[in-house]
Chain A
């Protein structure tokens, strides 16, 4: 069941991005450069951006490290679970387990260093032109919201607390949370690109 839902979500997200970029007139070869700029702007907090700023570098480092780890986690879980329809095992499991630990670390760092810049402002609520910035922030907080059950479910699975049915429930919680997290992250990335266009 999860397999089909995940496939529908992935196809749906791809369709969403395709139509939205088309509507906004963003060419595919522009996406990468806009995304890169969007990252720098969002992470760097444009008003106080200083390229020699240690925290900026740290934020950027955490961001890219998290992106790489998310990519690894998605590949090692989606290939067996969504594409092959089996549980994660073997090399996929080994990479997934190791990557998950580092993901928790880098994601925590990222949250600590970027949460404040994503707090809601007056302008986000009142100014209709800042609507996209509001969505970007909301999607950011959704990422954090969905990451909590994704991580907590795994922690609970590591202890002999739940039986087979409980573990199956936790497993489902993890999988669906991650799926929602991916939706939120995609939307967040989309608004980063869109907002960047506006700034330019």
Chain B
């Protein structure tokens, strides 16, 4: 009897394992839209809509539910594969971080706080969780320019404290329309607006022309349920209303299918919503004065270089990307890959008609020490490095966005920073500013939830409104605040203030400041706008960089500090380029005399050649003369 029971359990186990294996293999099978059949025409997307419970949405449903991209788009495309793509995997620790890029910048000017954040392992950034920013808080702060997925959707990343709120708002699924909607009616600002209202599950549909979304989930109670009217019976609809979606019913056909005008290759406009960068100067905000990236001007799209497959692992196009992600094919999507060919294999060169650069007269050492972008990308160097605004840092593109040129945070560009490979690259930089706790050599920001309500008053700001001017405090205020923070922790923790590249801390009752790595600037390389050869750095000759007052070497970078006694310091560009200022000045001097030097060397060379030719001619004459004389003598002897 016992033996037969074991037999049954054994068979059941084998069956179970087989089913599990089959299920897992089955789940990894490609869906109909994952692989193309080779036809180069874009397939028509006439789709059934599905909600977040994978129930089909019908034209005549009495209660209209927002569509879910997971189930609507996921019907034909492997959503889970896409959801691990570059734009969505930022919180996945298993994925390589790659080169440092633009962080999410947490800013609270009343607390003098600017902190670069990233879930990726980028040196100089802090993980949002480290400063007490929960996933939902992260979406509140930065979700306007997030294309969904990641912390907005993955269960393991959602904080247990926010599960109920997430039930109200729904999950912020991957917004496929953000890139692939080819209509002019897609409104990314509307998507941002819906995210700001925590209408997460309504946001993708609300941004399309298919539906209009109203209401505000953030105002709903935690027990709010769209299927149960009693949960929102108490809501004062004069001030707010429950989130709702109204589909344009004319777009449904008789089979309850909706046509979506979708494109595999996202349009540039779609990328620009989250990836714009512009001079903060008012003059440049007038678009007619700004230039387009040369690739775009020539008719290319962002995704012609920043390509991806179904896995949505975008090619970022930087030099070491292939090694970082162990994908050798990425080498051919760098500047060199298209313009020179990978390791001189010409088949990768010339993609999209990329011309081969001549670089006439440019010593090859430049290609060892500089990234291509140094001469071809970013703003041309100026005496004082300029401010730029970016979509994500300054919430550009939102309805009623702040258009002040000097809006926080202050991102300086172009700064030429030496990267991990020892090459210079044009970069944007910001200086962090925050109140932190020092443990040993490590300094971490105080979690934002640890500040009590009275903190802002202690800083004694002389303004309640601020449109961009950097706020600074007196030493006495700083001492008071540091003392208060230390005392509030029972003097168990050593509180510091980081600003302007320095650490300020109390030491035996005295305020002291010093430079430290954790207080240093955060920089990220910029690749655009790419300028053509005729507008590149160096087109006017060596003097573009190698001159005594070169902005490339000696431009001024402002180190903004929140401490009055330490404010308005400037660093020379050589500080960021890790170069010696004296040496660069001396080397520049050699270019001052270079025209004369060239003439002198030519004269010397001509003299040497002249002497050589004369004496070699003489020598040849001598040899032939002696040869003839000797021959004649021998002949005479013979006679």
- Residues of A with Cβ closer than 8 Å to B? 86-91, 93-94, 97-98, 100-101, 104-105, 107-108, 111-112, 115, 118-120, 122, 125, 141, 144-145, 147-148, 151-152, 154-155, 157-164, 167-168, 171
Contacts and interface: CB of A to CB of B under 8 A. Distances in A.
B605 A141 contact: no
A94 B588 CA distance: 10
Interface of B: 357-365, 367-369, 583, 586-587, 590, 594, 597-598, 600-602, 604-605, 607-609, 611-612, 615-616, 618-619, 622-623, 626
B607 A108 contact: yes
B360 A151 contact: no
Residue from A101, A105, A118 having most chain B Cβ neighbours under 10 A: A101
Given A147-B608, A151-B601, A167-B362, 14 more contacts: A101-B601, A104-B604, A105-B604, A108-B604, A108-B608, A111-B608, A119-B615, A119-B622, A120-B622, A141-B612, A151-B604, A154-B601, A157-B363, A159-B361
B577 to A, nearest CB: 13
Contacts of A120: 619, 622-623
Contacts of A87: 364-365, 368
Given A119-B615, A120-B622, A164 B359 contact: yes
16 contacts: A89-B365, A91-B583, A97-B590, A107-B608, A108-B608, A111-B612, A115-B611, A115-B615, A120-B619, A120-B622, A120-B623, A151-B605, A154-B601, A155-B598, A162-B360, A164-B362
B364 A168 contact: yes
A141 B616 contact: yes
Contact of B597 (A88, A101, A163): A101
B367 A104 contact: no
B618 A164 contact: no
Nearest to A122: B626
Contact of A151 (B361, B608, B615, B616): B608
Contact of B604 (A98, A107, A161): A107
A104 B601 contact: yes
Contacts of A100: 601
A144 B608 contact: yes
A155 B599 CA distance: 9
A168 B365 CA distance: 10
A177 B586 CA distance: 29
Contacts of A115: 611, 615
A108 B583 CA distance: 30
Given A122-B626, A167-B364, A104 B600 contact: yes
A148 B613 CA distance: 11
B361 A158 contact: yes
A188 to B, nearest CB: 15
Contacts, number: 104
B365 A148 contact: no
A161 B360 contact: yes
A108 B616 CA distance: 16
Contacts of A93: 587
A112 B607 contact: yes
Given A87-B365, A167-B364, A155 B608 contact: no
Contacts of A171: 364
Nearest to A168: B364
A118 B597 CA distance: 29
A180 B30 CA distance: 64
Nearest to B614: A115
B361 A160 contact: yes
Contacts of B594: 158
A159 B602 CA distance: 12
B274 to A, nearest CB: 36
A63 to B, nearest CB: 16
Contacts of A148: 605, 608-609, 612
A159 to B, nearest CB: 6
Contacts of B360: 160-163
A50 B610 CA distance: 29
Contacts of B357: 163-164
A181 B257 CA distance: 82
B364 A161 contact: no
B131 to A, nearest CB: 41
A167 B360 CA distance: 8
Nearest to A90: B583
Given A107-B608, A115-B615, A164 B367 contact: yes
A122 B626 CA distance: 8
A119 B616 contact: no
Contacts of B363: 157, 167
Given A125-B626, A155-B602, A119 B361 contact: no
Contacts of B361: 157-162, 167
A119 B618 contact: yes
Contacts of B359: 163-164, 167
Nearest to B607: A108
B505 to A, nearest CB: 37
- The 5 A-B pairs at the shortest CB distance, nearest first, are namely A160-B361, A163-B358, A160-B360, A104-B604, A108-B604
A97 B367 CA distance: 19
A80 B619 CA distance: 39
Nearest to A106: B604
B607 A111 contact: yes
B368 A105 contact: no
Contacts of B362: 160, 164, 167
Nearest to A150: B605
A168 B358 CA distance: 12
A120 B622 CA distance: 8
Contact of B619 (A90, A119, A154, A155): A119
B358 A164 contact: yes
A86 B222 CA distance: 65
A178 to B, nearest CB: 15
A41 to B, nearest CB: 20
Given A164-B358, A164-B362, A111 B600 contact: no
Contacts of A157: 361, 363
Nearest to A167: B364
Contacts of B602: 155
B477 to A, nearest CB: 45
Residue from B583, B587, B601 having most chain A Cβ neighbours under 10 A: B601
A87 B362 CA distance: 14
Nearest to A88: B365
B515 to A, nearest CB: 25
A119 B615 CA distance: 7
B583 A155 contact: no
Nearest to A116: B615
A169 to B, nearest CB: 11
A101 B598 CA distance: 9
Contacts of B605: 104, 148, 151-152, 155
Contacts of B587: 93-94
Contacts of A89: 365, 369
Contacts of B612: 111, 141, 144-145, 148
Nearest to A110: B608
A126 to B, nearest CB: 8
Nearest to B626: A125
Nearest to A105: B604
